[in-house]
Amino acid sequence: MSDSLCAAIYAGKMPYEAAWALQRRLAAARAADRIPDVLLLLEHPHTYTLGSAGKPEHLLWSPETLAERGVALYRVDRGGDITYHGDGQLVGYPILRLPCGADGLHADVIAYVRALEQVIIDFLAGYGVQGERISGLSGVWVRKEGAPHKIAALGVRVTTKRVTQHGFALNLTTDLRYFEGIVPCGIRDKGVTRLADLIAQPPDLPAAAAQLAPIFAARFGRRVHPLSLDQLLTTLGDAHEFHVAP
């Protein structure tokens, strides 16, 4: 198995629970070296997720309002607080086997998160938008009306085999009204924005996925191999290793 290969998959819209189950399946296969690294790119229907640091009081809408507005809710095993997923948002789930960190045993999770942030920053730069970091906070921020607004949220998990799960959510044409139902990432004093509020013609999700995949691969020293979800699922059901043409 070549460690330089990354299968880039745009899976369209997928319910959160199905994507979460797929991540676990892919992570187990990656840990067993049955598949290469994978970047799974997709979109979710309206969903709130509470991470390991999520506080229930950061969910502002009642169960009745969630049901009325068609929003699913999950407590998940990534880091971070509460966030929103929905239409017009590009979600990325890297399934990478990370190298050992300075201790020779565990992955450097902070360095991994910083690298993910840089992928988003580089993507935004291609549209003339300056993304930035804020000390002490994860994610990517932009200046809007002079104040920092979050345009991409990050929350990750790294298994004991140093394989990553979860990832990032980048707002392209997202309906920001759904962020009114939560305290996004538990941060009360900063806003949320989307690329559509910063440029005249934001890309649709397939185009954004195609643009972001090579940026991601370059940042992590991988070679992109476009793949369909059906092809990958066929591989997972096979006893043989993943193979691609040279």
Which residues are identified as catalytic?
185
DSSP 8-class letter at 185: G
Among the listed residues 176, 85, 87, 171, the one whose alpha carbon sits nearest the alpha carbon of residue 129: 171
H/E element holding 223?
Answer: strand 223-226
